[in-house]
């Protein structure tokens, strides 16, 4: 049996794009029958074509992301783990673990590590706690991986609990905390002194994160971070087709030690 890691562009999202496109074509047809080829008809027709192009673009990105197709999700996870300066001793926390893909990749890369994954598991991605546990069993790391529900905005762990913390493309999705800096701080709160972290998100999005240099200085000053580095625009460092690079253009990585 093969693990099922799903996709960051879920079936539900694809169905929504498809539904919107079909809706505009139906509207175009209705307007044609009611009014003939007037302005409203052309507007609806243009919207239908735009919705179709958006759907095709998302479908292409979905294929490139997928583990069975382009394998980009795996390469992005490996990019994060390659930057995690950890010896694999102790326990790693994966915040927003989704289908468990990054947690399981970490368990495979660090053969004695224990791994804890938490997620909100909302309906949007079709991911679940059972799926994570099943994937870990299939990949032969089930005994070292635990998955529990949790909120990235308020992690249910005492401060300084983990030897390593990771998170991939989660913070920008969190609705329970608007301040994305506070989410990073909440993740780092759970890291032990001497522990390591690697976090990927849309750090290049100035509206969400502002100037990263200032944030890195702030973390050093207020959150006991001793070493930190920022890698902007990871889409340029990982092999992927140009149209997908556009979608990931704001994504960056911060990594270091407490």
Ligand X SMILES: C[S@@+](CC[C@H](N)C(=O)[O-])C[C@H]1O[C@@H](n2cnc3c(N)ncnc32)[C@H](O)[C@@H]1O
Residue nearest to ligand X (CB): 98
Q: By CB under 6 A, is residue 186 in contact with ligand X?
A: no
Q: By CB under 6 A, is residue 174 in contact with ligand X?
A: yes
DSSP letter for 193, please: E
Q: How far apart are CA 196 and CA 33, in angstroms?
A: 64
- Is the Cβ–Cβ distance between 48 and 4 less than 8 Å? no
Relative to beta strand 162-168, strand 145-149 is: unpaired
Question: Binding string, 49-88, against ligand X, x = CB under 6 A?
Answer: ----------------------------------------
Size of the site for ligand X (CB under 6 A): 21
Name which of residues 209 to 238 contact ligand X (CB under 6 A): none
Q: By CB under 6 A, is residue 45 in contact with ligand X?
A: no
Q: In the structure encoding, which two tokens stand for residue 179, read together? A: 């301040």
Q: In the structure encoding, which two tokens stand for residue 95, read together? A: 């915040």
Q: By CB under 6 A, is residue 203 in contact with ligand X?
A: no
Quick check: helix, strand or coil at residue 163? strand
Q: By CB under 6 A, is residue 120 in contact with ligand X?
A: yes
Nearest to 169 by CA among 218, 124, 215, 136: 124
Q: By CB under 6 A, is residue 8 in contact with ligand X?
A: yes
Name which of residues 128 to 167 contact ligand X (CB under 6 A): 151-153
Q: By CB under 6 A, is residue 102 in contact with ligand X?
A: yes
- Is the Cβ–Cβ distance between 112 and 92 less than 8 Å? no
The correct pick among 98, 195, 252, 256 for binding ligand X (CB under 6 A) is 98
User: Considering beta carbons, is residue 28 or 66 the nearer one to ligand X?
Assistant: 66
DSSP letter for 225, please: -
Nearest to 198 by CA among 209, 184, 186: 184
Q: Footprint of ligand X on this chain (CB under 6 A)?
A: 8, 96-98, 101-102, 119-122, 125, 127, 151-153, 168-170, 173-174, 176
């Amino acid at each position: 049996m093969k693990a099922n890691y799903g996709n960051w562009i879920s079936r539900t999202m694809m169905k929504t794009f498809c539904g919107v496109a079909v809706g505009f074509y139906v509207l175009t047809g209705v307007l044609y029958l009611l009014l003939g080829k007037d302005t409203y008809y052309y507007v609806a027709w243009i919207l239908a074509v735009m919705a179709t192009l958006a759907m095709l673009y998302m479908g292409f990105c979905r294929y490139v992301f997928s583990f069975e197709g382009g394998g980009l999700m795996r390469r992005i996870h490996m990019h994060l783990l390659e930057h995690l300066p950890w010896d694999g001793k102790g326990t790693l926390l994966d915040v927003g673990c989704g289908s468990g893909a990054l947690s399981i990749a970490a368990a495979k890369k660090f053969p004695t590590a224990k791994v804890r994954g938490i997620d909100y598991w909302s309906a949007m991605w079709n991911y679940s706690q059972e799926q994570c546990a099943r994937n870990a069993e299939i990949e032969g790391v089930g005994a070292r991986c635990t998955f529990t529900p949790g909120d990235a905005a308020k992690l249910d762990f005492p401060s300084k609990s983990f030897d390593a913390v990771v998170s991939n493309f989660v913070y920008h999705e969190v609705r329970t905390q608007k301040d994305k800096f506070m989410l990073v701080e909440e993740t780092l709160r759970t890291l032990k002194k001497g522990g390591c972290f690697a976090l990927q998100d849309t750090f290049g999005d100035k509206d969400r994160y502002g100037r990263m240099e200032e944030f890195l200085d702030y973390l050093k000053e207020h959150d006991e971070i001793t070493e930190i580095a920022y890698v902007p625009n990871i889409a340029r460092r990982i092999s992927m087709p140009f149209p997908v690079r556009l979608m990931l253009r704001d994504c960056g990585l911060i990594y270091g030690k407490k």
